[in-house]
């Protein structure tokens, strides 16, 4: 029955997303992903093609109906909506930002992707061995381990285990900067499974600061690169099957900062509160996410407290910082903020607990702002690192007094 035994398409690996795989022909496969999260999580797919010989392989991906269109108002084409609002129309954007990686290689943009209705067709040139294909550059458990190994090697004193996840995995914080009494910025990522831009940014920021010990300047940085380590370790199967600790996995972790119902949240809170007791002055806390369903969440954007709720003094303070950040990086569209009114978020808890400014940072999965061109461009593998360098420089240059 196996007409083409030398090529298989798999998802059962670290970071793979479950899908039904059907062989259509010698080098052609159809994938029906069933790994999508409902709500404002744009669909993510990552699979491996294993081949005994190099050559072309075509993947037909049947996009899960409804997930990418559920928020579109009726009567407007995606094209029109994109034109009016910069909405992340996947059909328009996705072909330009798919990535692939050959064995031991780096993620790179892949051409040859087209979208027709709910079907994505990717034509890959695979090499002998494993070629991975993804709709967004994933961040893996192996990436986190490599980062932590680097910290251990260069600055072992900077690394600390701050607690354990529900599955017993360690949660790490990295603290960088020299002065004990320096203003402290807390950064964290990956409260939400598959929101990969955040850990990529945190990873790049830590690596940059390790390589350039003067980069934080007079600041202290406290970085938790991955908050929900279980979601990273178990990946989409955890989200789908509730493989671990069923009762809490359907809860949005970013609504639990007031009740500490997640040990991962409690670990981060305890770290911040302990450092506060030791005299740390937290001036800001940034929480990295991937958003997609608001026009504002294209490129990076920041949540702020509602001006009425914040009051004039705090409102001026939060807008001053956000405008500085927006003006200081190449990859953010000025003016993109929105008020996050729900309770239980990290940003609100952080502000209440420390007095520092708390912001959720939403990155588009697939679009980054290009300041020079004054236009969006498709996400490229270099974007998170470029943003991290910009952000670090911007935080360093800010007047925190
Ligand atoms: Zn999120």
Locate 316 and state its tokens: 């001026």
Identify the band that residue 92 occupies on the pLDDT scale cut at 50, 70 and 90: low
Name which residue leads in pLDDT, 242 or 306. Answer: 306
7-134 shares its CATH topology with 141-397: no
Contact 136, 97 (CB under 8 A): yes
Calculate how far, in angstroms, residue 281's C-alpha sits from the geometric centre of ligand 1. Answer: 26
Calculate how far, in angstroms, residue 343's C-alpha sits from the geometric centre of ligand 1. Answer: 15
Locate 23 and state its tokens: 């062989």
Tokens 């003006």, located at residue: 327
Give 302-352 pLDDT, tens digit per residue: 888 888 889 999 999 999 999 898 888 877 776 667 787 889 999 999 999
Calculate how far, in angstroms, residue 38's C-alpha sits from the geometric centre of ligand 1. Answer: 12
Identify the band that residue 299 occupies on the pLDDT scale cut at 50, 70 and 90: low
Q: Where are the chain's structural domains?
A: 7-134, 141-397
Please state whether the predicted TM-score (pTM) of the whole model is above 0.95: no
Identify the band that residue 96 occupies on the pLDDT scale cut at 50, 70 and 90: confident
The reported pLDDT for the residue numbered 295 is: 46
Calculate how far, in angstroms, residue 290's C-alpha sits from the geometric centre of ligand 1. Answer: 5
H/E element, 176 = strand 170-176
Calculate how far, in angstroms, residue 400's C-alpha sits from the geometric centre of ligand 1. Answer: 27
Calculate how far, in angstroms, residue 195's C-alpha sits from the geometric centre of ligand 1. Answer: 6
Identify the band that residue 397 occupies on the pLDDT scale cut at 50, 70 and 90: very high
Identify the band that residue 48 occupies on the pLDDT scale cut at 50, 70 and 90: very high
The reported pLDDT for the residue numbered 181 is: 80
Calculate how far, in angstroms, residue 291's C-alpha sits from the geometric centre of ligand 1. Answer: 6
Name which residue leads in pLDDT, 262 or 187. Answer: 187
Calculate how far, in angstroms, residue 101's C-alpha sits from the geometric centre of ligand 1. Answer: 25
Q: Which CATH architecture has domain 7-134?
A: Sandwich (2.60)
Judged against a pLDDT cut of 80, whether residue 137 lies above it is answered with: yes
User: 18-29 burial, b if ≥16 CB within 10 A, otherwise e?
Assistant: bbebebeeebbb
Sequence length of the chain is 401
Calculate how far, in angstroms, residue 192's C-alpha sits from the geometric centre of ligand 1. Answer: 5
Calculate how far, in angstroms, residue 54's C-alpha sits from the geometric centre of ligand 1. Answer: 38
Calculate how far, in angstroms, residue 305's C-alpha sits from the geometric centre of ligand 1. Answer: 17
Judged against a pLDDT cut of 70, whether residue 238 lies above it is answered with: no
Task: Tell me how far apart the alpha carbons of residues 157 and 174 are, in angstroms, rounded to a whole number.
Answer: 9
Task: Tell me how far apart the alpha carbons of residues 320 and 93 are, in angstroms, rounded to a whole number.
Answer: 32
Calculate how far, in angstroms, residue 125's C-alpha sits from the geometric centre of ligand 1. Answer: 33
Judged against a pLDDT cut of 80, whether residue 98 lies above it is answered with: yes
Calculate how far, in angstroms, residue 127's C-alpha sits from the geometric centre of ligand 1. Answer: 35
Q: How far is CA 392 from the centre of its chain?
A: 17
Judged against a pLDDT cut of 60, whether residue 83 lies above it is answered with: no
Identify the band that residue 266 occupies on the pLDDT scale cut at 50, 70 and 90: very high
Calculate how far, in angstroms, residue 289's C-alpha sits from the geometric centre of ligand 1. Answer: 4
Contact 30, 45 (CB under 8 A): no
Mean pLDDT rounded to a whole number for the chain: 84
Calculate how far, in angstroms, residue 51's C-alpha sits from the geometric centre of ligand 1. Answer: 35
Identify the band that residue 372 occupies on the pLDDT scale cut at 50, 70 and 90: confident
Judged against a pLDDT cut of 50, whether residue 68 lies above it is answered with: no
Residues 186-196: what's their mean pLDDT? Answer: 91
Calculate how far, in angstroms, residue 95's C-alpha sits from the geometric centre of ligand 1. Answer: 23
Calculate how far, in angstroms, residue 133's C-alpha sits from the geometric centre of ligand 1. Answer: 23
Calculate how far, in angstroms, residue 4's C-alpha sits from the geometric centre of ligand 1. Answer: 40
Name which residue leads in pLDDT, 293 or 382. Answer: 382
Judged against a pLDDT cut of 50, whether residue 244 lies above it is answered with: no
CATH of domain 141-397: 3.40.630.10
Share of residues in the chain with pLDDT > 90 (%):
52
Calculate how far, in angstroms, residue 287's C-alpha sits from the geometric centre of ligand 1. Answer: 9
Angstrom CA distances, 252 to 247, 264, 306, 385, stand at 12, 12, 22, 27
Calculate how far, in angstroms, residue 191's C-alpha sits from the geometric centre of ligand 1. Answer: 6
């Amino acid at each position: 029955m196996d007409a083409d035994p030398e090529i298989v398409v798999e998802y059962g690996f670290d970071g793979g997303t479950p899908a039904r795989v059907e062989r259509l022909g010698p080098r052609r496969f159809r994938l029906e992903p069933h790994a999508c999260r409902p709500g404002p999580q744009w669909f993510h797919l990552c699979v491996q093609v294993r081949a005994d010989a190099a050559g072309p392989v075509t993947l037909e991906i049947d996009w899960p109906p409804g997930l990418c269109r559920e928020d579109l108002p009726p009567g407007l084409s995606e094209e029109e909506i994109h034109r009016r609002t910069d909405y992340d129309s996947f059909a328009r954007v996705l072909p330009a930002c798919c990535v692939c990686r050959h064995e031991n290689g780096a993620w790179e943009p892949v051409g040859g992707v087209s979208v027709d209705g709910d079907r994505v067709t990717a034509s890959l040139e695979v090499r002998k061995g494993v070629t991975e294909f993804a709709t967004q550059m994933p961040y893996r458990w192996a990436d986190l381990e490599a980062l932590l190994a680097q910290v251990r090697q260069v600055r072992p004193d900077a690394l600390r285990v701050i607690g354990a996840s529900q599955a017993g995995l360690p949660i790490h914080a990295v603290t960088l900067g020299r002065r004990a009494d320096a203003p402290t910025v807390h950064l964290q990522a990956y409260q939400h499974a598959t929101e990969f831009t955040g850990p990529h940014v945190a990873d790049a920021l830590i690596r940059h600061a390790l390589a350039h010990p003067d980069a934080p300047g007079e600041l202290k940085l406290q970085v938790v690169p991955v908050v929900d380590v279980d979601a990273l370790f178990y990946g989409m199967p955890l989200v789908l099957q509730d493989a671990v600790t069923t009762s809490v996995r359907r809860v949005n972790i970013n609504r639990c900062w007031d009740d500490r119902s997640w040990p991962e949240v409690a670990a981060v809170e305890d770290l911040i509160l302990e450092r506060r007791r030791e005299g740390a002055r937290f001036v800001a806390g940034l929480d990295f996410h991937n958003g997609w369903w608001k026009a504002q969440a294209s490129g990076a954007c920041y949540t702020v407290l509602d001006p009425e709720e914040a009051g004039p003094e705090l409102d001026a303070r939060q807008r001053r910082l956000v405008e500085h950040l927006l003006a200081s990086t190449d990859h953010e569209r000025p003016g993109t903020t929105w008020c996050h009114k729900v309770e239980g978020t990290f940003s609100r808890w952080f502000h209440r607990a420390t007095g520092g400014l708390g912001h959720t940072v939403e990155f588009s999965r697939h679009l980054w702002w290009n300041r020079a061109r004054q236009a969006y461009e498709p996400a490229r593998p270099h974007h998170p690192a470029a943003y991290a360098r910009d952000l670090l420089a911007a935080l360093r240059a800010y007047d925190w007094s």
